[in-house]
Structure formats: structure tokens, C-alpha cells
């Protein structure tokens, strides 16, 4: 491969990283909100969110991306494909993260909540200082695994014209008639991205354990 091909691959890798990164941040936060709303068992809301989680988890990423890309113009909205990609990936990972957070919520010791309430600790402080650190420690492996799966499924966004890592790899292979070098290069870049997430997990896990002590 030429130097320009490497530059193009790196630029496409950055596109994959920032779109996935925004989706991950939104998905982790919204997943927690969905899990807590379901745990609150608000009539109507809890059932709606349960259907959303089940439906989205059963929908392939590529189907969700194409659906949002087609439905937006039909409703008169001119939406940037990158916004569609972030929306689809966020909807997808929120559903999976909600189940991970819900598992942590259901396993949380109620005695600690009662003790905090008896000690006069506010609900907000209890959530920030007692519940979230322990829930993060419990959920972190699952959350990072879901982040990795989201990055691996990100090639679906190439279907709507986004020049991501997979799309550029295919383009270079089509031009050079030698698919092995760009595929190996793309594989290396994906490994580096996923490796960064694993490194993040170790750092975040260490910090969460310190906060939980």
C-alpha cells in the first residue's frame, strides 16, 4: 500500500472512533436511565421500555441503520448520515447497556440503601457515592464488552455512505486488486481500538474499586 492509503485508513479509523465514541457515551448514560426507570416500575413507562429493549436487541444493527436512514427523509427531515449513524448505534447500545445496568441494580444490597437512609444521607448522595461506584464495578466488564461489540458492528454505517474503516478498506482493495494488505491494516487498527477499550476498562475498574471502598 502507498502512504496515501495509510493516511486514508487512519482518517477512516478516526471516523469509526468518534462516531462509536459518541454512541458509547450516550448509550452508557441512557442505558442507566432506562434501567432505573424500569426498576422504578412506573405504569406504562416500564412496559414501554421493556418492549424497546427487547425489540432493539432483536434488531440487527444494519437493519436499524437503514431504517432510520430511510424513515427520516420520508418524514421530511434532512438528516446528516453521521447523525443517523450515531442515533442508530446509540439506540442499539442503550438497549444492551440497560440490561447490564439492570442486572447491577437487581444485585445491589437493599440493606445499604436502608442504612444510608437511616444515616440521613440524601438520595442523590447515596446514588453518587454508594450505588454508582459499586454498580460500575459490577457492570464494567459487561459494558466494555458491549463497547467492543458496538465497534465491531460499526461497519453497518458504511451502508449509508459514511466513509468508515471498513468502507475505505474495500475501496483500497478494489483499486489495488490486492485485498490482503488493506484488510490486514484495517484489522490492526480495529485491534488497537478494541485494545484501547480494554485498557480503559482496567483503569476505570481500578478507579471504581477505590471509590467503592
155-205 pLDDT, tens digit each:
999 999 898 888 899 888 888 888 898 899 999 999 999 988 888 878 877
Residue found by looking up cell 474495500 in the block: 170
Nearest of 86, 103, 113 to residue 31 by alpha carbon: 103
φ/ψ of 163, rounded to 5, equals: -85, 80
Check residues 40 and 145 and name the one with the higher pLDDT.
145
pTM: 0.86
Alpha-carbon span 151 to 140, nearest angstrom: 17
Nearest to 166 by CA among 157, 177, 155, 174: 155
Q: What is the pLDDT of residue 104?
A: 84
pLDDT at 213 over 60: no
Contact 172, 9 (CB under 8 A): yes
Nearest-angstrom CA–CA distance, 43 and 211: 34
CA distance 37 to 31: 10
Question: Rounded to 10 degrees, what is the CA torsion of 115, 121, 127, 133?
Answer: -70
Lowest mean pLDDT across 24-28, 30-34, 89-93, 129-133: 129-133
> Tell me: the pLDDT tens digits for 108-126?
766 666 676 666 676 666 6
pLDDT given at position 138: 82
User: Band of the pLDDT at 101, cuts 50, 70, 90?
Assistant: very high
Query: Helix H segments across 41-58?
Result: 45-57
| CATH ID of 3-212, from 1.10.3720.10, 3.10.20.10, 3.40.50.150, 3.40.50.620 | 1.10.3720.10
Region 118-143: mean pLDDT is 74
pLDDT given at position 78? 83
**pLDDT per position as a tens digit, 24-80:** 999 999 999 999 899 888 889 999 999 999 999 999 999 999 999 999 888 878 889
Confidence of residue 209 (pLDDT cuts 50, 70, 90): low
Amino acid at each position: 500500500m502507498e502512504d496515501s492509503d495509510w493516511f486514508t485508513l487512519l482518517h477512516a479509523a478516526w471516523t469509526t472512533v468518534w462516531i462509536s465514541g459518541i454512541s458509547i457515551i450516550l448509550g452508557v448514560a441512557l442505558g442507566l436511565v432506562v434501567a432505573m426507570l424500569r426498576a422504578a416500575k412506573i405504569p406504562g413507562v416500564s412496559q414501554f421500555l421493556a418492549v424497546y429493549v427487547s425489540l432493539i436487541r432483536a434488531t440487527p444493527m444494519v437493519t436499524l441503520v437503514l431504517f432510520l436512514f430511510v424513515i427520516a427523509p420520508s418524514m421530511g427531515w434532512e438528516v446528516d448520515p453521521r447523525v443517523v449513524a450515531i442515533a442508530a448505534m446509540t439506540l442499539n447500545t442503550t438497549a444492551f447497556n440497560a440490561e447490564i445496568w439492570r442486572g447491577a441494580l437487581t444485585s445491589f444490597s437493599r440493606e445499604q440503601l436502608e442504612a444510608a437512609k437511616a444515616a440521613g444521607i440524601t438520595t442523590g448522595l447515596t446514588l453518587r457515592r454508594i450505588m454508582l461506584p459499586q454498580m460500575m464495578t459490577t457492570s464494567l466488564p459487561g459494558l466494555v464488552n458491549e463497547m467492543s461489540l458496538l465497534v465491531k458492528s460499526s461497519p453497518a454505517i458504511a451502508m449509508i455512505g459514511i466513509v468508515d474503516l471498513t468502507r475505505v478498506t474495500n475501496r483500497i482493495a478494489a483499486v489495488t486488486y490486492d485485498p490482503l494488505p488493506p484488510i490486514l491494516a484495517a484489522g490492526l487498527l480495529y485491534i488497537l481500538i478494541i485494545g484501547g477499550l480494554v485498557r480503559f476498562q482496567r483503569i476505570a475498574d481500578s478507579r471504581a474499586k477505590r471509590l467503592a471502598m
